[in-house]
Structures are given as C-alpha cells and as structure tokens.
C-alpha cells in the first residue's frame, strides 16, 4: 500500500515536472531579447520560409493560444520546421537517426563506465591508504578534472591522427547505405571504438570516486566488524555486506549525473564528428536553427527527467527503508 502511494506521488511529480519543462522550453525561446520573431524565424531566409515558420509557430497569435498549440504539437511529436539544418522540412523526420546513434554511444559507454567504475572504486576502497588506492584515485581524479573534449582530442590526435588506427570522424564509413548487415555492423563498431573509450573513461572516473567514498564509509560501520568477528571471508564481507549498502549512492548519483553524462556525450560527439544528438546541437547552434535547438533541448530534458524517475523507483526497491 505504502509503495503504491509512493509511486503515485512520484508519478504526479513526474507529470508536473514534465509540464513545467515543456512550459519552460516554450517560454525560454519567447522571452529572450528580440522576442520570438528574432529567435525562431531564421535570419536571411526567404520570405516564403519566414512565413512558413511564423505560421508553424503561430507567432501572430497571443501567447496562451500559442502555448496550447505547442502542447498539442509536442504530444503528437510534431516539433515544427527546421530552419536551416534540414531546410524547411519537418524536424521529426530527421531526428530518429541521430537519436539512434547517440543511444548506441551513450548506452554502450554508460554500461561499460558503471561496470568499470564500480570495479575500480571497489578495488581502491578495499586497499584504502595503500599505493593501489592512491594510484587509482589519482587516475580517477585526473580524468574527473579533465574536460571530456580535451581527452577526446588527445585520443584523436594519438590514435587517429598519428597512428592512423581508427577513422578521424563519423559514425560509420562511406557508402553505408549499400553495405550488407555484417559490414554495417563492422563499420559502426570500427567508428565507435574511440568515442566509446573516450566517453567511458570520463564517466567511469566519476563512478569510481563515488564508489570508493561510499564503500570506505560502509567499511567503517559496526556490522562489518561483526561480520569479520564471525569469521567471514573478505570476499563474503565485501559481496554480501558492504557492496549492497555502498551501491545506494551510486544509483542516486547515476541519476543526477545524467545531465553531466549528456555534456560529456556532446563533447565526444563534437570532437569525433559522430552524427548524434550532440553533433546536431552544435550544428543547430552554428546555423542558428532555433526550432531544432528547442526540440533537442526538450528531448534531452525529458530523457533526464525520466531517468531520474526510474532511479527513484530502483532506489526504492534497493532500499526498503525509504520513507514516503
């Protein structure tokens, strides 16, 4: 019963926040200097496109009416016309491909990062104060302090520019459309290696730091001493007693840091010219394609919101003590 009401409350908050994000996205592009006309209607385009954009965004109507129309459009996944990136065509048609590419990169990278980060954190925490801990944490701290684009740039220079082991840019090779499925897979994998490594190491550093801190905390608790006194093996203490509690902060932080993860993803995609959402953001900014930018921002915000919601639910299952 309690769990159900907790879920209901969380869902209600989700709905309210979702509405707030859509409203924020709507007003952000309208209250800025120069007004919506300046922001949404592309400069230097022909009168035909200008009229089309004005009609598409109903810029001649009062704001409340515009907002209702915008809400309707968002819920029917209609993001309007791209001003410059895909000249005068519907944004919704162009989005699936970049989203797929980004999900591939971020998905692989995040899974690897969590697995490696948790392992590294565990390794360092168990050897607290020893050289292995110092080296591991110095490694993690350095990568945590390093902007992702810098690390990606160094990797690009070393492995693509100097050694020429990997391609310099793109999510797949030339002539991708004509390849067989196996070739497509190979081409994708070959192009994904460097971006995934760059992304994974950057995100991994954060998880390693949190895991190490959380586990060192848990290892000083009394029940660990009790377990030790019972004569349990080190492995059993770590696996059955310490890790279960130490994982909780990792789950929370994993949810909160999705905004951070997205930033890392944008940088990695930018450096490797990987055709995903991050690259698209950059193109939209450079071309001053505000309708597209608006759509991308909305998608990113909603993804983060849903990820937070899921993390809350997972947290509740992991930690039954959570009070409602």
* Centroid of chain to Cα 121: 22
Q: Two tokens at 241?
A: 């007693």
Q: Which of 281, 283, 291, 295 binds other proteins (CB under 8 A)?
A: 281
Q: Which of 17, 45, 88, 92 binds other proteins (CB under 8 A)?
A: 17
| Closest distance of CB 177 from other proteins, Å | 27
Burial call 149-180: b when 16+ CB within 10 Å, e when fewer: bebbbebbeebbeeeeebbeeebbeeeeeebe
Q: Give CA–CA dist 269/274, Å, rounded.
A: 5
- Mask of contacts with other proteins, 120-159, x by CB under 8 A? --------x------------xx-xxxx-xx--xx-xx--
Closest listed residue to residue 36, CA positions, set 20, 52, 22, 54:
54
Rank residues 22 and 247 by Cβ distance to other proteins and give the closer one: 22
| Closest distance of CB 269 from other proteins, Å | 11
Q: Give CA–CA dist 96/102, Å, rounded.
A: 10
| Closest distance of CB 11 from other proteins, Å | 15
| Closest distance of CB 149 from other proteins, Å | 5
Structural Rg of the chain based on CA atoms = 24
Q: Which of 288, 311, 314, 319 binds other proteins (CB under 8 A)?
A: 288
Rank residues 78 and 217 by Cβ distance to other proteins and give the closer one: 217
Rank residues 58 and 128 by Cβ distance to other proteins and give the closer one: 128
Rank residues 28 and 324 by Cβ distance to other proteins and give the closer one: 28
Q: Give CA–CA dist 22/51, Å, rounded.
A: 24
- Mask of contacts with other proteins, 37-76, x by CB under 8 A? --x-------------------------------------
Closest listed residue to residue 19, CA positions, set 63, 84, 74:
74
Where would I find the H helices in 146-289? 148-155, 181-219, 222-229, 234-236, 243-256, 258-272, 277-286
For 31, the enclosing helix (H) or strand (E) is helix 2-31
C-alpha triplet 23, 25, 28: angle, nearest 5°? 105
- Which of helix, strand or coil describes residue 320? coil
Rank residues 37 and 183 by Cβ distance to other proteins and give the closer one: 37
Q: Does 305 bind other proteins (CB under 8 A)?
A: yes
Q: Which of 106, 290, 291, 312 binds other proteins (CB under 8 A)?
A: 290
3-state secondary structure 225-255: HHHHHCCCCHHHHHHHHHHHHHHHHHHHHHH
Q: Which of 210, 227, 293, 295 binds other proteins (CB under 8 A)?
A: 293
| Closest distance of CB 138 from other proteins, Å | 9
Residues 234-273 that bind other proteins (CB under 8 A): 256, 258-260, 262-263, 266-267, 270-271
| Closest distance of CB 181 from other proteins, Å | 32
Residues 176-215 that bind other proteins (CB under 8 A): 213
* CB-CB neighbours of 19 under 10 Å: 11
Q: Give CA–CA dist 78/93, Å, rounded.
A: 9
| Closest distance of CB 189 from other proteins, Å | 22
Closest listed residue to residue 247, CA positions, set 110, 105, 125:
125
* Centroid of chain to Cα 145: 18
Residues that bind other proteins (CB under 8 A): 16-17, 20-21, 24, 28-29, 32-33, 39, 128, 141-142, 144-147, 149-150, 153-154, 156-157, 160-162, 168, 213, 216-217, 220, 256, 258-260, 262-263, 266-267, 270-271, 281-282, 285-286, 288, 290, 293, 296-297, 300-301, 304-305, 308
């Amino acid at each position: 019963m309690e769990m159900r009401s907790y879920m209901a409350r969380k869902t209600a908050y989700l709905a309210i926040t979702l509405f707030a994000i859509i409203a924020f996205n709507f007003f952000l592009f309208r209250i800025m200097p120069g007004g919506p006309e300046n922001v949404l209607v592309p400069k230097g385009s022909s009168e035909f496109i200008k009229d089309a954009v004005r009609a598409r965004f109903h810029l001649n109507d009062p704001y409340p009416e515009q907002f209702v129309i915008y809400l309707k459009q968002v819920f029917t996944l209609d993001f309007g016309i791209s001003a410059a990136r895909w000249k005068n065509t519907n944004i919704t048609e162009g989005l699936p491909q970049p989203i797929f590419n980004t999900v591939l990169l971020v998905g692989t990278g995040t899974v690897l990062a969590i697995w490696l980060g948790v392992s590294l954190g565990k390794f360092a925490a168990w050897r607290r104060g020893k050289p292995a801990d110092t080296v591991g944490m110095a490694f993690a701290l350095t990568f945590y302090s390093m902007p992702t684009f810098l690390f990606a740039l160094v990797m690009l220079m070393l492995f693509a520019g100097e050694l020429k082991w990997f391609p310099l840019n793109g999510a797949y090779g030339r002539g991708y459309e004509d390849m067989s499925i196996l070739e497509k897979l190979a081409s994708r994998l070959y192009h994904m290696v460097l971006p995934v490594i760059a992304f994974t190491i950057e995100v991994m550093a954060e998880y390693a730091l949190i895991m190490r801190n959380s586990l060192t905390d848990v290892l000083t608790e009394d029940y660990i001493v009790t377990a030790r006194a019972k004569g349990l093996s080190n492995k059993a203490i770590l696996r059955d007693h310490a890790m279960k509690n130490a994982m909780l902060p990792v789950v929370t932080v994993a949810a909160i840091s999705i905004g951070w993860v997205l930033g890392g993803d944008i940088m990695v995609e930018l450096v490797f010219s990987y055709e995903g959402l991050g690259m698209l953001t950059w193109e939209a900014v450079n071309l001053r394609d505000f309708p597209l930018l608006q759509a991308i921002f909305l998608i990113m915000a909603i993804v983060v919101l849903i990820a937070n919601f899921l993390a809350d639910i997972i947290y509740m299952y992991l930690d039954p003590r959570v009070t409602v």
